[in-house]
Structure 1
Amino acid sequence: MSPERAEQIAILALSWLGQNEELFPVFLGASGANADELREQAENPAFLAAVLDFLTMDDTWVVEFCDVHHLKYEEPLTARYALPGAEAVHWT
């Protein structure tokens, strides 16, 4: 997946989170961002990677997001790996 497509999916995820009354405050708390910063951060690939990190923490969220946007369930994680920071993942 291209970084551009990954960013598109992450922006969709950010928008989806912003419309979710339960998850949006959780995301803001986890990311340390505030609602005013989101527009400027939406162009930051590292922030978009954090959006996908958050989304992919829960399979239920992934399914709901993908169903709304007609994406394959593996696409958010594939997109995450196309953005900065994924190369530093260590499972030890």
Structure 2
Amino acid sequence: MTPDRAETIALEALAWIAADEELLPQLAGATGASLEDARDRVADPAFLAGILEFLTMEDRWIRRFCDDRGLAYDEPMTALMTLPGQMRPEWP
């Protein structure tokens, strides 16, 4: 996966979370970030990685997001591992 594709998936995840009445408050609580903060940081790969880390906390969120976006279930985690500073040996 390319870094550009990883960022695109993260941005799609952010938009998907922002549209969900259940998840948006949980994201704000977990990160302390408001929607305004998110708008200011959408070009920051570390922030985008945080969005994907939040999304990948729950399998049901991953399944819903991937089903809604037509993605394979492993793509959010692959995108997370592709973003700068997120490389871990257990994820190629």
Structure 1 Cα separation of the partners of residues 37 and 57 of structure 2:
22
Would you say the 8 A contact 2:81–2:88 is kept in 1? no
Higher alpha-carbon deviation: 30-39 or 67-76? 30-39
SS at match of 1:86: coil
Distance 1:59 1:3, change over 3 A: same
Where do 4+ consecutive residues of structure 1 move more than 3 Å? none
What is the Cα deviation at residue 88 of structure 1? Answer: 6.0
Structure 2 length-normalised TM: 0.92
Counterpart of 1:66?
66
RMSD: 1.5
Counterpart of 2:80?
80
Structure 1 length-normalised TM: 0.92
Give percent identity, aligned residues only. Answer: 48
Q: Which runs of 5+ in 2 are unaligned?
A: none
| Mapping of residues 1-12 of structure 1, within 5 Å | 1-12=1-12
Structure 2 Cα separation of the partners of residues 31 and 89 of structure 1:
25
Q: Which runs of 5+ in 1 are unaligned?
A: none
